[in-house]
Structure 1
Amino acid sequence: MPTWTVGDITVHRIDEIPLPPPTGSWLLPEATPDVVTRVDWLRPDFADPEGVLRLDSQSFALETGGLRVLVDTGIGNGKPRAGSAWNDLRTDYLDRLTAAGFAPDTVDLVVLTHLHTDHVGWNTRGQDGAWVPTFPHARYLVSRAEREYWAGCAMDEPRRQMFRDSVDPVEDAGLLTQVDVPAEGVDIAPGLRLLPTPGHTPGHVAVQLADAGESALITGDCVHHPVQLAHPAIGSCVDVDPALAESTRRRLLDSLADTGTLVLGTHFAPPTAGRVTRQGEAFRLEPVSPVTAFRN
């Protein structure tokens, strides 16, 4: 269970699954093997020698201001999904979360960076033939711009299914809270701040942590993979607004570069965390190993 410290805040990585090797070429089509192999610092952690990107599905759990917080909830178990790699999963995610000290009924706050399938799946779990909130005592936070966008969006059937099983039950239970996120961000708990990072989706947010003079940022999907530091113009095939996603990414990386801020990538393969440095006109991720990594 890898962890990092930000001041007195301990951040736990809660693994769900490694994403299949073809995910990278589908998600970031401009990150071709030729492009990837030219970025030598991506190997061995973030890409293999043939230029295949490594990506994972994971969440981050932490405690701050007396609140037990989970950032994003992965793909989930038993969910009907169009993609075979995500369909009807059977993982031990909840066991890992509990082993890290965050049993579902002890979580106070779930922060959703955006409402995509691989970030909301464990919002709910199956019980007696229905989907019920996994974290019954938690507030689930999403930006108002994000929820309103999807409320007015014409969805295809797979996305409607995702809302039916992973968003609507939380909303129907009165647990979903919409938050206005201004340009400067908004504090939601001591040491915990939401920053607007639109483009991948209209209301996407990144999560900033700060304590005792140290800081960290959980990316969500404003950066999917470290190759986007070397090539910030590389975008995702599912970006709602590709131009805005790129400008958001460039602005964010510029603000992080050489500051010592710990960056935790929601889809970054191990070691998952690093610090952004400038490299010519672009950037580089200097990996930071967990302070502890153990298995029961």
Structure 2
Amino acid sequence: MSTYEERLNRPSPIRSLQLGDLKLSYVPDGVVRLKPYGWLPAATERDWEDNAAFLDDGGNLVATIGGLLVEHGERALMIDVGVGPVSLPDDPGNPLIGALRGGDLLDSLAKLGRRPGDIEAVAFTHLHIDHVGWGYHPAPDNDRPAFTGADYLFSEPEWSQRHLSTAHGTTEEMLATLATRARTVTNGEEIFPGVRLLLTPGHTIGHASYTIESGGRRLIAFGDALHSAVQIRHPEWSAGSDLDSVESAVHRRRLVQELQEPNTLGFGVHFADVAFGRVDTTADGPTWHPVA
């Protein structure tokens, strides 16, 4: 059996859990290495000595890339759809990210018994390319994106100010493709049985988390409000890519508090092989504990 420490620095396979009437599954697409001193610039060398378990043999944070499949009987929703068929080597001049690889999401979905046509909607946390990839990339052997039958759901501020995403690599061509299926939703709106949008801006102007409730339990899929389980203990550590590091820290602290409430779980799409977890209160502070 793998230890918690081993799981912190390796990519995740498909993992699923049951939440009342809903089945939730992490759908892998790929992995990216995050450079710790650039990605979490408030963390010091001593901090990383104390949290070395979160770093791989190359000294990087392992961040999974993928999406969350939410199934209610025959109905299915995706939250984020990875980066798509992209492979990039490490650029030593990039202070934030190292090597990146994607492209597995459609195969992962097939292993879960689902086709892209089964997905009635894709709810996006935000417009960065590692979350919208299969929303605009053509499907294999096709000139159209895979999720042609799905609505693309964005928070209203994220979509209305989508031009801001171009600073992070999202192109006008990508946005034009997404626009053909885009629909905006508001804070608190139910988009699928038990699934509601929760605005958590800071990483982007309209970053959305999603609360999922069924059977007396709740799960918060918090997207890029948190990138690593190390931030559960250190919500003051904002990402180098955050649009507003002060606002993102405010929402991170609130999320960590919410995740300590009874019957509450979390989903971290970039959380290496500990994507599903709960936050336990310990003598050392709040701690992420995997549950799947």
Name the CA distance, whole Å, in 2 between partners of 1:236 and 1:50.
Answer: 20
Deviations 1:140-182 (A, max 9, x none): 100010011224x4945x7353x413x31131x3x1101122x
Matched residue type, 1:70: M
What residue is the counterpart of 1:103 in the other structure?
Answer: 115
Q: Aligned equivalents of 2:104 and 2:255: distance in 1?
A: 33
2:205 equivalent in structure 1: 202
Q: 1:286 to 1:79 in 2, by over 3 A?
A: closer
Q: 2:61 aligns with which of 53, 56, 76?
A: 53
Q: Is the 8 A contact 2:80 2:125 kept in 1?
A: yes
The reply on whether 1:15 has 2:28 as its aligned counterpart is: yes
Aligned-residue identity in percent: 29
> Does 1:148 find its partner at 2:151?
no
Report SS of the residue matched to 1:85: strand
The alignment partner of 2:223 has SS state of: coil
TM-score w.r.t. the length of structure 1 is 0.82
Structure 1 residue 33 displacement after superposition? 4.8
* 2:253 is the counterpart of 1:244: no
Of the three residues 217, 221, 228, the one matched with 1:218 is: 221
Give the superposition deviation at 1:131. 5.8
Tell whether 2:124 aligns with 1:115. Answer: no
Residue identity in the other structure for 1:58 = G
Matched, 1:164 2:173: yes
- Root mean square deviation, CA, Å: 2.9
Secondary structure of residue in 2 paired with 1:123: helix
Runs (4+) off by over 6 Å: 79-84, 127-130
Which residue of 71, 74, 88 corresponds with 1:63? 71
TM-score (normalised: structure 2):
0.83
Q: Which amino acid aligns with 2:79?
A: V
User: Compared with structure 1, are the counterparts of its residues 8 and 130 closer, same or farther at alpha carbon in structure 2 (3 Å cutoff)?
Assistant: closer
* Cα contact 1:258–1:278 (8 A) shared by 2: no
Q: Secondary structure at the match of 2:137?
A: strand
Deviation at 1:286?
1.6
Q: Does 1:132 align with 2:144?
A: yes
Amino acid in the other structure paired with 2:274: P
Counting matched residue pairs gives 273
Assess, with a 3 A threshold, how the Cα gap between structure 1 residues 118 and 4 changes in structure 2: closer, same or farther: same
- 1:294 counterpart residue number: none
- Cα deviation for residue 276 of structure 1 reads 1.1
* Number of the residue aligned with 2:8: none
Structure 1's unaligned 5+ residue stretches are 291-296
CA contact (8 A) 1:209 1:216 kept: yes
